[in-house]
Structure 1
Amino acid sequence: MPWGKPAARMREMISAMRAIWANWYDGEPLDFRGEFYTHTLMTPVFTPTPSPFGPPRVFLAAVGPMMTEVAADLCDGMLVHPLTSTRYLELHTLPVIEEGLKKRGLTRQDFELSYPVFVVSGQTEEQFAESKQAIKQRIAFYASTPAYRRVLDTHGWGSLQPELNLMSKQGKWVEMGELIEDDILNTFAVVGEPREIVPMIKQRYTGLVDRITINFSYAPVAERPALIRELAS
């Protein structure tokens, strides 16, 4: 199958899913006919017992405006890419989401944003250094992707993307991380002592996103439940 029009395909796939669920839960006739997908047959064998929780909620991962628009137009929430800054969220992501929700008669409170936070921390200086190096390499990997250059452009770092992309094709994964300066690191990651991480996350992201995904490996296992409660409070 030739590939193209990813946002249009995703929009249609979500609409097709909704049509199938409407058949399962509401008894609507299944007659979905689109440019990419067609669903017109539903047999008893393929019809599950309805869940008491209703149809699943739909979350879509997005970075650019077209896929973000699909999420806002059709979904219950969006999975924010980890290579996303608060500035990019405020300038580019949230306006598209709010416009899409407005068309649906919904508000921002009806839509959930989930954000996976990069964390640099450690119990010792050695652990901190290892964490910092690992996150710099992860940021460099994502920043090498042409589709994510728009995020770097928001901060004036767009010229870094083609350089990282070339290095990725040369297999210079470790060297790529060395191009991530501390100002870039601090823009995309929360960097601090273990006791500082949760307060820093809450200060940076409260009011912007609704759910945080975080790796608590920087903290002892016994302390992680308390950190989760602190983050949720």
Structure 2
Amino acid sequence: MRITYGPWGESLEELTAAARKAEEAGAEVIWVPELHRSATVSAAAVAGAVTRAGVGTAVALAFTRSPMVTALEALDLDELTGGRFILGLGAGTRRLNENWHNVPWNRPLARLRETVEVIRAVVAGGPLAYDGSVQRLDARGLRRPHEPVRTRIPVYLAAVGPQMTRLAGRIADGWLSHELSSPAYLREQVLPNLSAGLDGRERAELDVVVSACCSIDPDPAQARRRAAGVLGFYAGVATYKDFFAFHDLAAEHAAAVAAFRAGEPVVVPDRMIDPLVLAGTPDQVAERLARYEGLADTVKLTPAVYGNAPEEIRRNQARIIELIGTL
């Protein structure tokens, strides 16, 4: 498996410094998310900090920019990285799109497929005309005067549900997991859907990237408590009902959703943490990471962030980067 990393920083300066250290430790790709920062601006900052590692978005929101803007940003980032950029896209949730960004959520499957088709057409240099069921583009006659580094930039898709996962298998260069994704879920739910979506493609054409939230501490109990904030953040989302039910955590998920809707703290018992987060001592985390062998092509390690103080996140991040060096 390839080992990659999603750095954290209170500032862009700290983020890029962590990216540089992760590259020095051996991380092959540096991934940046989109939530409290712009994924493409963060990727541009990281591009100036690393010299060998790839730079990817995990993920940029697919519907909050026009496909044309996303394609142009991808071309610029590919130039900044010398052809090492990976465009990771995700649909997000209905609430995020409609309430946070005021963009449509109707027909997300078709919208994501057509968004990728438009992006690839723009990156390839045209023709810049597209008439889909959701997306439209009419920029005929437009010629970008800048020579691209590549006319095909890898597009990875984040997917949790079966239909989105099959779509990733059918059209993407890689699949990106949710930050919580156990080896059992990968083996029994994700890989069969990816295979069903391949539709004649070779499995080797698809990079299966599992995102693994990581919490390392000499005290395993402290590592689990640090990870609890991440579980609480996601457990309050009703959309993930089937995911938690698969792990025999339906009751805990229902309680978390009810608490979130009531504005109360989400209580996360240890039995929610152990199957879904790499938490423990360095040796315990390395052993749990090894369980993805033969299932994932790439692992993206990220520090547990939600609910933790900056100094706590920094200590954890340093331990993760140290672990990458030993791996």
- Shorter-chain TM-score tier: 0.7 to 0.9
Paired residue secondary structure (2:176): strand
User: Which sections of structure 1, spanning at least 5 residues, go unmatched?
Assistant: none
Structure 1 residue corresponding to 2:252, chosen from 160, 168, 172: 160
Whole-Å separation in 1 of the counterparts to 2:251 and 2:317: 39
SS in 1 for 2:106: coil
Q: For 1:131-162, what per-residue CA distance to the aligned partner results, in whole angstroms no more than 9, with x for missing partners?
A: 32231221122122122111111123223323
Work out which of the residue numbers 94, 117, 120 in structure 2 matches 1:18: 120
Select which of 5, 16, 34 maps to 2:132.
Answer: 34
1:228 corresponding residue in structure 2: 324
Aligned to 1:100: 197
Which residue of 152, 162, 186 corresponds with 2:274?
186
* TM-score of the pair, normalised by structure 1: 0.80
- In proportion to residue count, which structure has more helix? 1
| Alpha carbons of structure 1 residues 224 and 99: separation in structure 2 relative to 1, 3 Å | closer
In angstroms, what is the RMSD of aligned CA positions? 2.5
Offset at residue 164 of structure 1 (A): 0.9
Q: Cα 1:54–1:16, aligned 2, differ >3 Å: closer, same or farther?
A: closer
For the residues of structure 1 that align with 2:157 and 2:243, how far apart are their CA atoms?
A: 18
Q: CA deviation at 1:121?
A: 2.4
Q: Does 1:119 align with 2:217?
A: no
Are the aligned partners of 2:178 and 2:211 in contact in 1 as well (CA < 8 Å)? yes
Rounded Cα–Cα distance in structure 2 between residues aligned with 1:109 and 1:230? 27
Q: Residues 114, 47 of structure 1: CA spacing in aligned structure 2 closer, same or farther, 3 A cutoff? A: farther
Q: Structure 1 residues 119, 226: CA separation in 2 closer, same or farther (over 3 Å shift)?
A: closer
Query: Where does residue 170 of structure 2 map in the other structure?
Result: 73
Q: Is the 8 A contact 2:180 2:212 kept in 1?
A: no
2:304 aligned with 1:214, yes or no? no
What letter matches 2:270 in structure 1?
A: D
SS at match of 1:78: strand
Instruction: Provide Cα deviations, 1:20-62, integer angstroms capped at 9, x if missing partner.
Output: 223x1xxx533310111111215556453121x4421001111
Give the TM-score normalised by structure 2. 0.59
Q: Give the letter aligned to residue 97 of structure 1.
A: L
User: Structure 2, unaligned stretches of length 5 or more?
Assistant: 1-102, 304-313
Give the AA of the match of 1:208: L
- Of the three residues 236, 240, 246, the one matched with 1:144 is 236
Identity fraction in percent: 26
The code of the aligned residue for 2:297 comes to D
Select which of 137, 141, 148 maps to 1:50: 148
Structure 1 runs (4+) deviating above 6 angstroms are none
Higher CA-based Rg: 1
Deviates more, 1:137-146 or 1:155-164: 155-164
Answer yes or no: is the 8 Å Cα contact 2:214–2:320 preserved in 1. Answer: no
- The Cα of 1:198 is off from its aligned counterpart by 2.2
